[in-house]
Amino acid sequence: MIRQLIIALLVLSAMPASAQAPYWNPAAEYVTAGQDEPGYRAWIAQASWRPVYVKAFHNYLVTYGVGGVVPTWQLLRTATDWQKCGAQPFEVPPSNAWPNIVAALRYVGTYIVPRIGPVEAVSVYRNAALNTCAKGAQESTHLLMGAVDMVPLRPISREALMTELCRIHRSSGERFYTGLGFYKGIRFHIDNKKYREWGTSGARGGFGCAAVLAEGPAPFVDPAVPPTVLTAPATSDPLAPRP
């Protein structure tokens, strides 16, 4: 068994890059350099007080049972347009906003992750100036840290993602005042503001989860993405910067 595995790895490493399955990075379209993990480590090392505040935030999430739904450092990502707006790539929100993210994460961890697998948070809190510059809604739930934009880490087509999330939202969203939204590609939004949906559309026309679900099951994996491709392994504790 071990011999076969070694041979397979040697064969794969000898293949030209063009013949190997491409690395599927679902967050690549939404996360720029500086807002990735190396960018986070650089950001947290720039001020001695930042690790203290991040640790306090992390401990709060653990205390309320949502630590580890997604890595804590990802929850500090601001807006995708942070560079255009001259803003920070990460920010620790005011502590009075922390309960709002707990509610959103509890829904993600209880209902979404068990159905579609792990997710990566690409945008969470935005201060008022950044939200305005990034053309966010005037009353965006991101201002209160009650919303999470994320992408699934397992290969999935946009149509299948909509189908799965619409099913989840229809069965449990109203009870928990949960909003569901979709952007382009496979980026989606969960908030704890109120039961609503936006950005959903059926492949054959029609809008909303009703249209999506009326079309029946969609192919689960995007044909353009090899189903055998795996995402990068999780890194170690992101709270402590590496040398």
7 pLDDT exceeds 80? no
Is 204 strand, coil or helix?
coil
Residue 148 has a pLDDT of: 97
Instruction: Identify whether 115 is part of a domain.
Output: yes
Structure tokens at 50: 């930042």
Q: Which domain holds residue 38?
A: 31-214
Give the residue from 140, 157, 139, 138 showing the smallest Cα distance to 149: 140
Residues 187 and 138 sit within 8 Å (Cβ to Cβ): no
Tokens 């293949």, located at residue: 15
Write out pLDDT tens, residues 64-117.
999 999 999 999 999 999 999 999 999 999 999 999 999 999 999 999 999 999
Where residue 44 falls among pLDDT bands split at 50, 70, 90? very high
What are the E-state strand segments in the chain? 119-123, 147-152, 179-182, 188-191, 196-198
Write out pLDDT tens, residues 189-226.
999 999 999 988 776 777 889 888 888 766 665 555 55
Tokens 């071990």, located at residue: 2
| Average pLDDT estimate for 17-22 | 49
Distance CA 156, CA 137 (A): 28
Domain count, the chain: 1
Instruction: Identify whether 227 is part of a domain.
Output: no
Is 90 strand, coil or helix?
strand
Strand 147-152 to 179-182 pairing: unpaired
Instruction: Identify whether 22 is part of a domain.
Output: no
Structure tokens at 177: 């005042």
CATH number of the domain residue 205 falls in: 3.30.1380.10
Mean of per-residue pLDDT scores for the chain: 84
Where residue 228 falls among pLDDT bands split at 50, 70, 90? very low
Q: What percent of the chain has pLDDT over 70?
A: 79
Instruction: Identify whether 83 is part of a domain.
Output: yes
Instruction: Identify whether 223 is part of a domain.
Output: no
Instruction: Identify whether 3 is part of a domain.
Output: no
Cut 0.85: pTM above it: no
